[in-house]
Chains A and B, each alone.
Chain A
Amino acid sequence: MTAPAPYVELAVTSNFSFLRGASHPHELVTRAAELGYGAIGLADRNSLAGIVRAHVAARAAGIRLVPGCRLVTGDGFEVLAYPADRAAWGRLCRVLTLGKRRADKGQCRLAPADLRGLEGGFAGLALAPEGVISDDIFINNINLLSDIFNVSFHIATSPRLDGCDAVRLSRAAQLAARAGRPFAAVGDVLMHSPERRPLLDVLGCVREKCTLAEAGLRLAANGERHLKAPREMMRLFAAYPEALGAGAAIAERLGFSLDQLAYDYPDEPVPTGRTPDSQLARLALAGAQARYPDGVPAQVRAQIGHELRIIRQLGYAPYFLTVHDIVGFARRRAILCQGRGSAANSAVCYCLGITAVDPARSDVLFERFVSAARDEPPDIDVDFEHERREEVISTFTPVTGASAPVWPPR
């Protein structure tokens, strides 16, 4: 295998930018690997929806995916934002949620001031404006955002093969010099292969609500916005060698990968000085005393110890505490409830009062319920009296729009 190309494409739009991109994320990533890219970015328009598919495809293709987002604010300012770490990724998600909440479904409305919420920890590539906003406003925006994009901040532009590339590139380079920022070469890719031009044109017509015959200048003059080979990009930007290496340098400085994300169970409050595991052990043993007033059978005691060990190993204690809370709430309100299904294979569930199958009188097979070999979270089914189910659900459901669940109920 040859060494990865020194050029990394960071301006990539997939079909998760609705009616703008004409290729699936996995098509873009796979094609990038074929063309010899060592890494590729994905930055959809105010969306991260395509990132997971791209990530999976990149793992399969053996190249690195740099996850990011193309932030488009209401005033026409476009910047490719790439988070440097897990925390920055979280802030990016939060800002997008803010923009999507205040707009209609499928839309995202961001004001330039909303980008303050990113706080920092990003690499940014601002796309040189093409007549939409003035150079002065653009430079002003760049300066205002310098502490957000504090990892690196480039001014980027792409070749269009429209006869004006020489002018466009030199203008963008001058603009970058005026703003005191480095200049970056990007492809501003909308499709993985030039053969997607018909689809791209049709999508453009759907977006503009016109037919192909009427579309005229609303469609691109050519099909050049496909993923180009690194060699081709190097030829097009031959006059700006320093701009060509920018993408690779940025990718190098970003440590964030989707692999760092895992499911975070909401914090389950436990009394001070206790961990969820110790709290669960305490409750289970106290429950056992209550279930077996004449003394806990040794076999059951051993089973509880075995189960707590596996629960601790897998980190599932907060989940058992949550279900215990819910069942406890129902009991206090005299709402009938009963755990069922595979949870009946657990002595801990029996002792917590969730299920009613006595482990002393039946053979429990805990591994049918929770197993270290199966990498999936446990599922405790609890039936509630159907007339009063709503009571339980509404108590434990966060009010729509609240930023954190109301937990635990008081």
Chain B
Amino acid sequence: MCRHIVTRLARGGITARAGLAGTPGAAWALALATADGNTTVCPPGGERAALAALPVAALRLDPDSVDRLSALGLRRIGDLYPLNDDARGRAGLARRFPPLVLDRLDAALGRTFEPISPLRPRTAHITRFEPAAPVHDGDGTAVARIAARLASALAPMLARDGLGARRIALAAFRSDGRRVRQVIGTARPLADALAMTALLRLALDHHGLDLGPGADGFTLEALRTEPLRRHQPHLALSHPAEDGSDADITLAPLVERLAGRLGPERVGRLTPRAHHLPERAQGFTPALDQADATPPFCRPLAMTPLARHRPLRLLARPLPVTTPNPSPDGPPEWFQWQGRRHLTARAKGPERIALEWWRLPGWQIGGAPAGLADAVRDYWRIEDREGARFWLFRAGPPQPGPGARWYLHGVFT
């Protein structure tokens, strides 16, 4: 049987080494010492002899113990036998080494019992439907009805395990032997049949499911699941929306629908990143890819400490603006943007941000900097006479004269 398993695994592209012995420890050690694709079988009661020549590391010891045993010249498991057989030797081992050493030796030799806890396959969350006669894709209502029926069976199955689906696949098995699938993503762990049905219907309306000559089998499977978060809508104190309802719950169906319509990669959210440079400090993450929506799904980016004094959204790239450059290190008196002249009423700053010098050659704005001292930006929050607020920066160090280059990087809204 052992050989059979190794052969089967090899067919599946997995190189295996097998050891068969009366104890898990001995089997493990033998497998380790066996050549790839081979099998070593230890006769019943032969563990002691079989292990003697193997290195002590085969006992599944921590590297530190292995090093220390080797330092004492105890390199093979057999080297430990004389010590182990003698009460004083055992006491010495127990004193000098962690209990693991004797435990593993005893377990491998069968002196103590070592239970095996097998890995159990995760239960698949899948529901099936086999219609009496092949279903043809008339107006699509038949498939939608089947999807609703499958969803109403899948949802309680998930809920029972305390799970919600993040990706669901509806598959149809056509009578010509082909399989067609429609995969949808959700913005939160979902175990609600109605919501699932609505999302499936939306996907079917937009993309359809080509049943060809007709389908005689359907499955609905939760491809990815996450623990279901239970909500208590009226006491949602953590991230209350304005009306007191939990914004996560109300926003999620919208995100799902938009993602279903526009494509999942087009609906995203800004996520904070640990970078000083503003354009590197936020990222765009597809909303459906968020692992279980933590950090909370609609946590505003502006809440992160770095972003307190920054516009929520930046321009795709900083835009050069014209200024009269009044003082070497102060804010501009006015600047010209989109054909309009903005007169500075108030200015706060400067916030000096040095460019990441280890990335300097790739710097876009203004070309390669002359040196380290030039690789800074001075950001100013500027309010114009009409009350509009802008985020401007001067590239390079403070300098007198008209050479300074100013850019608009964002508008406060």
- Smallest CB separation, A402 vs chain B (Å): 33
Contact call A163/B274, Cβ cutoff below 8 A:
no
Q: Chain B residues near A220 (CB, 8 Å)? A: 354
Interface flags, B334-367, vs A, CB<8A=1, else 0? 0000000000000011111110111000000000
Is A197 in the interface zone, CB < 8 Å from B? Answer: yes
Contact call A197/B357, Cβ cutoff below 8 A:
yes
Complex: how many Å from CA A332 to CA B351? 77
| Residue of A whose beta carbon sits closest to that of B275 | A216
Q: Chain A residues near B376 (CB, 8 Å)? A: 222-223
Contact call B354/A222, Cβ cutoff below 8 A:
yes
Is A132 in the interface zone, CB < 8 Å from B? Answer: no
Contact call A198/B372, Cβ cutoff below 8 A:
yes
Is B309 in the interface zone, CB < 8 Å from A? Answer: yes
Is B239 in the interface zone, CB < 8 Å from A? Answer: no
Contact call B275/A161, Cβ cutoff below 8 A:
no
Q: 8 Å CB contacts to B: which residues of A148-201?
A: 161-164, 166, 194-195, 197-198, 201
Complex: how many Å from CA A369 to CA B356? 61
Query: Which single member of A161, A194, A224 contacts B372 (CB below 8 Å)?
Result: A194
Q: Chain B residues near A222 (CB, 8 Å)? A: 352-354, 376
Contact call B357/A198, Cβ cutoff below 8 A:
yes
If A198-B357, A217-B306 touch, does A163 touch B349 (CB 8 Å cutoff)?
yes
- Smallest CB separation, B401 vs chain A (Å): 19
- Smallest CB separation, B114 vs chain A (Å): 37
| Residue of B whose beta carbon sits closest to that of A223 | B354
Complex: how many Å from CA A170 to CA B358? 35
Q: Chain B residues near A224 (CB, 8 Å)? A: 352
- Smallest CB separation, B341 vs chain A (Å): 25
If A197-B354, A222-B353, A223-B354 touch, does A216 touch B372 (CB 8 Å cutoff)?
no
Is B273 in the interface zone, CB < 8 Å from A? Answer: yes
Complex: how many Å from CA A35 to CA B128? 82
| Residue of B whose beta carbon sits closest to that of A212 | B358
Q: How many residues does chain B have at the interface if contact means C-beta atoms less than 8 Å apart?
A: 21
Q: 8 Å CB contacts to A: which residues of B273-288?
A: 273-276
Interface flags, B287-302, vs A, CB<8A=1, else 0? 0000000000000000
- Smallest CB separation, A132 vs chain B (Å): 14
Is A221 in the interface zone, CB < 8 Å from B? Answer: yes
Contact call A221/B352, Cβ cutoff below 8 A:
yes
Q: 8 Å CB contacts to B: which residues of A212-246?
A: 212-213, 216-224
Contact call B309/A163, Cβ cutoff below 8 A:
yes
Is B406 in the interface zone, CB < 8 Å from A? Answer: no
Contact call A217/B379, Cβ cutoff below 8 A:
no
- Smallest CB separation, A286 vs chain B (Å): 60
Complex: how many Å from CA A46 to CA B350? 33
Interface centre among A161, A164, A197 (most CB of B within 10 A): A161
Contact call B356/A212, Cβ cutoff below 8 A:
yes
Contact call B354/A217, Cβ cutoff below 8 A:
no
Contact call B351/A163, Cβ cutoff below 8 A:
yes
Q: Chain A residues near B353 (CB, 8 Å)? A: 221-222
Complex: how many Å from CA A195 to CA B371? 9
If A194-B373, A197-B372, A198-B372 touch, does A217 touch B351 (CB 8 Å cutoff)?
no
Q: Chain B residues near A163 (CB, 8 Å)? A: 309, 348-352, 379, 381
Complex: how many Å from CA A162 to CA B353? 7
Interface flags, B370-400, vs A, CB<8A=1, else 0? 0011001001010000000000000000000
Complex: how many Å from CA A95 to CA B372? 41
- Smallest CB separation, A176 vs chain B (Å): 23
Q: Chain A residues near B358 (CB, 8 Å)? A: 198, 212-213
Complex: how many Å from CA A194 to CA B371? 11
- Smallest CB separation, B65 vs chain A (Å): 25
Contact call B354/A216, Cβ cutoff below 8 A:
no
| Residue of A whose beta carbon sits closest to that of B273 | A216
Contact call B274/A216, Cβ cutoff below 8 A:
yes
- Smallest CB separation, B338 vs chain A (Å): 25
Q: Chain B residues near A197 (CB, 8 Å)? A: 354, 357, 372
Complex: how many Å from CA A222 to CA B350? 12
Contact call B372/A217, Cβ cutoff below 8 A:
no
Contact call B354/A221, Cβ cutoff below 8 A:
yes
Q: 8 Å CB contacts to B: which residues of A108-149?
A: none
Complex: how many Å from CA A164 to CA B356? 21
Contact call A162/B274, Cβ cutoff below 8 A:
no
Interface flags, A91-119, vs B, CB<8A=1, else 0? 00000000000000000000000000000
- Smallest CB separation, B308 vs chain A (Å): 9
| Residue of B whose beta carbon sits closest to that of A221 | B276
Q: Chain A residues near B381 (CB, 8 Å)? A: 163
Q: Chain B residues near A194 (CB, 8 Å)? A: 372-373
Given A163-B351, A198-B372, 16 other A-B contacts at CB below 8 A? Answer: A162-B351, A162-B352, A163-B309, A163-B348, A163-B379, A197-B354, A197-B357, A197-B372, A201-B357, A217-B275, A217-B306, A221-B276, A221-B351, A222-B352, A222-B354, A223-B354
The chain A residues found within 8 Å of chain B, CB to CB, are 161-164, 166, 194-195, 197-198, 201, 212-213, 216-224
Residue pairs across A and B with Cβ atoms less than 8 A apart, 5 shown, are A163-B381, A197-B357, A201-B357, A221-B353, A223-B376
Closest 7 CB pairs between A and B?
A: A163-B351, A216-B274, A161-B352, A222-B354, A221-B276, A222-B352, A217-B274
